[in-house]
Amino acid sequence: MITLKGVEKNFGKQRILQGVDLIIPTGKLTTIIGPSGEGKSVLLKHMIGLLKPDRGEVWVDDVEISHLNDRDLNEVRRRFAMLFQAAALFDSMNVFDNVAFPLREKGLAPESDIPRIVDGLLERVGLVGMGHKHPSELSGGMKKRVGLARALVMGPEIILFDEPTTGLDPLMAKTIHDLIRSMHRVFGFTAVMVSHEIPEIFAISDWVAMLKHGKVIAMAPSKEFQSIKDPIVREFISVNEGSVA
C-alpha cells in the first residue's frame, strides 16, 4: 500500500501540492484525475521517490521513502515500474531490445531465457512479430504497447501510469486503457494512473481520486465517484464528459 500524509511540494514560489493525504489500495487500479497543472504527475513522482516532499511523508508499505539514502531508495524502486507519457523508448534499439533492456541491465535473467520472456510479453500486448522494428517505425499506440511490455518485464508489484493515452485518438486511447485493465487483471499489480480521459476511466478503474488546489478533494470506488455531490467534482466531470448523469 502506498500512503501519502500531508505531502507538500513547491517549485520556487509556485505551490503545487498543498497537503496531500492519499491511500493507494494494494492490488487495485486507482486513477487520479483533475485539471491540468494541478500536480498529478508531480504526485506520481513522489510515490516512486523521483521527487521528495518539502513536508509530509510518503510510505510504501511500512517504509517511509522520502528520507532514504540512494541505495535504500533503489531497493524500494525495484518494486515499481513507470510508464511515461511518451513511452520513453530507446530510438537506437528495436522493440525486442527495448523490452529486454531492464532484464539485461539488472542481470535478472540469463540471455537464453530472454527471448521467451520478451516474446511472451509482446504477444500479451498485441505485438507478435514486431520485435525487429524500431520506435520510428511504430504508431503512437504501438509505442505505448512497447512501453507497457517493458514495464511488465520485471514483474513489478506497482506500476505508475502517467497519462498513458496522451496523443492518441479516442479509439486507440480506449484500446490502451482496456489493455492496461487486462494486464492488471492478469498480473495483479497495484496500478496508479494519471488520466484526463473522462468518462472512460470510470469503466476501468477500481478507485478514482481527484486532485484540486493541491489536495485530494475526493476519493471513492469508481462506480460511487460519479455520484459524488461535491460541486467541484460535478463540474469537472460535466465539463470533461459533456453531461452529468
pLDDT over threshold 60, residue 33: yes
pLDDT at position 22, please?
A: 97
- CA 69 centroid distance within chain: 24
Average pLDDT, the chain: 92
Residue 181: pLDDT band with limits 50, 70, 90: very high
The pTM assigned to this predicted structure is: 0.90
Domains and their CATH numbers in the chain? 1-79+161-167+179-245 (3.40.50.300), 88-155 (no CATH)
pLDDT at position 61, please?
A: 94
Mean pLDDT of 182-190: 94
pLDDT at position 245, please?
A: 38
pLDDT over threshold 60, residue 141: yes
pLDDT over threshold 60, residue 135: yes
pLDDT over threshold 50, residue 158: yes
Mean pLDDT of 57-73: 95
